[in-house]
A and B are shown apart, each in its own frame.
Chain A
Amino acid sequence: MLKDVTLGQYYPADSVIHRLDPRVKLAGTLLYLISLFLFQGPLALATATVFLILLITLSKVPFSYIVKGLRTIIIILIVTAAMNLFFTTGTVIVQFGIFKLTYEGIQMAILMMIRLVYLILGTSLMTLTTTPNQLTDGLEKGLRWMKKIGVPVHEIAMMMSIALRFIPILTEETDKIMKAQMARGADFQSGGLIKRAKAMIPLLVPLFVSAFRRANDLAMAMEARCYHGGDGRTKMKPLRYTAADRNAYLLLFSYFVAMIALSLLWTKVLGGGKLFF
């Protein structure tokens, strides 16, 4: 029931992208997202597209597998497109009551769709090629400077990795409790909102009880294995930049500069409009 969410789950493969330091991938994702919302004009759009296709090809994750992840957010895409389609002011093409279909609306809707799809593809490429543990390691080391201003970076990273470890366990447990209550005649499907919300109590209470019990057990098990916070800890898999990581940073930087340059070229030199037509 709950196991069908595949969006962004780690896809094991041996590729250049998989081997990159997670800090590079985190920074790269951030930079790519910024570039998506900064770019203007068809030249930059083409560059962003080529860049994404290049990365996906390098990652060895099948294209169909990545696209499959988009299915889960199709509703969000449709709603966003519809909002842009009908609520953008401009030259009216057709009008149904209060809904006006405008030329600008069509442009805006297409642009937003592209941005959202690229955004999802870009971020899921990161999670598809980085194990949750690498990700938290990357965050812990990448954000280490924040420790100086009092942010408990190690603790947050530890919490994240434990949460990731327990998500599948608690998912399975939810499934089991749900079935156990259904065996006692529970009905999670029918009735109005209030009735359905009330029907969740027999599911949520045991789930919380179990989560607390597990947390308690886990805390004790960690203590028994000499866990005492981040001080004096060593790493089994410390993060170290390699030549490939340096090249990747260089590529990212070039991409970002190119995006800015091409956007400026379009708006300032070629005198193109804000949008891509």
Chain B
Amino acid sequence: MSIIVNELNYIYNPGTAMEVQALRDINLEIKDGEFIGIIGHTGSGKSTLIQHLNGLIRATSGGIFYNGADIYDEGYDLRTLRTKVGLVFQYPEHQLFETTVMADVSYGPKNQGLDEKEATLRAVGSLNAVHFPEKHFYDSPFELSGGQKRRVAIAGVLAMKPEVLILDEPTAGLDPQGRDEILEMVSNLRSTQHITVILVSHSMEDVARYVDRLIVMNGGGVMYDDTPQAVFAHYKELEEVGLMAPQVTYVMHALAEAGIPVRTGATTVAEAKDEILSVLC
């Protein structure tokens, strides 16, 4: 199972004075079970790209293939695609609307055509998966804390049993504890439920800690597509496009320049610590 993106282009307001090429010549293959990070500054095209992956935006040219099928084929069922490729928008708690948490999470499964009982089962399963406390299942989603609301919103997408889960900055606006909890939860979901995860983030520290593959977007195109270590080795080029490597990467490079023979590939605190200790002790 995979998503193949082929020569994808997307142009806003084509033919007018406000024409903007939001995506240019994107080629990607997303394999089953990968944990991918997408970084890029605001306006680099990352949000536009992920909305193509579940067919919410239709490309100006190029194609997307989900499990070998062209999603732009006539008669291709985009609604089913959206349940297979679950997309959690930025600040997803803003889409909550039901009177109870349970009803809100069941909304997706019901749209899939499942009956009440089946939908409830799905909702319970996904609420448990996001570690949402059972005693609040029938509370109003509007009275929860920010972090809890976000869990409910993510559960609302998980309840459709997607094969791919895309999260657009799932930690925006949360405090450090909330951020760590959400990221840990996503990481767990991937290993326990075997879903492919695509994480869009501004935080280099976060992606360095979790993902296996990192896609850097710039000016609507893919700038780098490699392991985090390999991508952050280009920290100078990243800076030129307004991005930064994790702080430890800078520390390692500065140490090497100062004549301490460390390898500069570390991207997390744990890696940096091991490397420095192995050289100094």
Name A's B-contacting residues (CB within 8 A): 173, 176-177, 179-187, 201-202, 205-206, 209-210
Contact = CB atoms under 8 A, between A and B. Distances in A.
Q: Which of B83, B92, B111 counts the most A-chain CB atoms under 10 A from its CB?
A: B111
Interface residues of B, number: 23
A185 B112 contact: yes
Contacts of A182: 56, 82
Contacts of A177: 94-95
B97 A183 contact: no
B89 A180 contact: yes
Q: Which of A181, A183, A209, A210 counts the most B-chain CB atoms under 10 A from its CB?
A: A183
Contacts of A176: 89, 94
B142 A185 contact: no
B56 A179 contact: yes
A183 B108 CA distance: 9
Contacts of A181: 95
Nearest to A208: B97
Interface in B135-167: 142, 156-157, 160
Contacts of A179: 51, 56, 89
B89 A202 contact: no
A209 B93 CA distance: 11
Interface string B72-90: 0000000100110011110
Contacts of B35: none
Contacts of A173: 94
6 contacts: A179-B89, A182-B56, A183-B157, A201-B97, A202-B107, A209-B94
A186 B110 CA distance: 10
B56 A183 contact: yes
B54 A186 contact: no
Shortest 5 CB-CB distances between A and B: which pairs? A185-B111, A205-B97, A184-B108, A180-B95, A183-B87
A183 B86 contact: yes
B96 interface: yes
A184 B94 contact: no
Nearest to B153: A180
A181 B97 CA distance: 10
Contact of B94 (A183, A187, A210): A210
Nearest to A185: B111
A183 B56 CA distance: 8
A201 B110 CA distance: 15
